[in-house]
Structures are given as structure tokens and as C-alpha cells.
Amino acid sequence: MNKITGVFLLAVMLAVPTMAFAASEVPPGFIAVSESRMNWADATAWCATHGGRLPRINNSDSWNYEGKATIEGFGTQGSPSWPPGLPGGFYWTGTVDTAPPGLSLFVYNIGDYVYVARQHGNLILAACVR
């Protein structure tokens, strides 16, 4: 990719607004939910602009992927506690993995069941908590 193409693509990406649910449609327990996918750093910043943050696992900024995980707003990993009104999908957490370090963690559903997985670099939705 040449410099002009790169600048054009960046301009197009910046011009596309990040969509969010209308305030009346945000499920209980959340203050904002994106309709656009974004990387972890952008999701963290997006939640901050909405007066919140990404939900944490076990109320911590890091987790070693061992033991039971309780995710703010989502309930307990492996349980049927997916938030009512929140579309199924993949949502960033504010917690990073300590083993291996540097991977961000996200929460997803299979039916009503909540699960956590490791991720790096992909575009995922954001659901913000206070």
C-alpha cells in the first residue's frame, strides 16, 4: 500500500461514526453499547467518552484465566446469565490476560451461557459499565 492509499483509508475510517444504541435501548447494567466493532484500545476510549469503562473480570484489570470468572454486567462464566436485551455476540472486557501476557479478554455467548476467551487485534463490540 502506498502512502496516498494509506492516508485515504485512514480518512475513510475516521469519517465513519461509531454507532451506539439509543439511551432508551441500552440494557440494564450498561451505560452504552456500541453497534460498531472496534479494537480494544478504541473500545476503552469509546467507553470513557460515554462516562464509563469496559467491564472487568473478577473486578480486576488482569486475570490468569484460572478459576471461575465473574464479568461485570454479564454474570458468571459458564452460567446462563447473558444480559436480557443485549444482542448476542463478542464484547471486550477491561481485563487483560496474564498468561500469556498482553492478550485482551472478551466475553461472548452461546445461547444464554456466558464465556470468556483471549483475543488480540480483532474488532469486537463494546458494552460499557460505570
Buried residues in 75-111 as b, exposed as e (16+ CB within 10 A): bebeeebbbeebeeebbbbbbbbeeeeebbbbbbbee
Q: 3-state DSSP helix/strand/coil percent for the chain, to nearest 5?
A: 20, 35, 45
Length of the chain: 130
Q: Pick the closest to residue 122 from 71, 108, 114 (CA basis).
A: 108
Q: Distance between the two ends of the chain, CA-based, in angstroms?
A: 41
pLDDT along the chain (130 residues), means of 10: 37 44 85 95 96 96 87 95 95 91 90 90 93
Give the position of cell 470468556.
116
Mark out the alpha helices in the chain (DSSP H runs).
Answer: 3-15, 40-49
pLDDT at 18: 54
Q: What is the pLDDT of residue 73?
A: 95
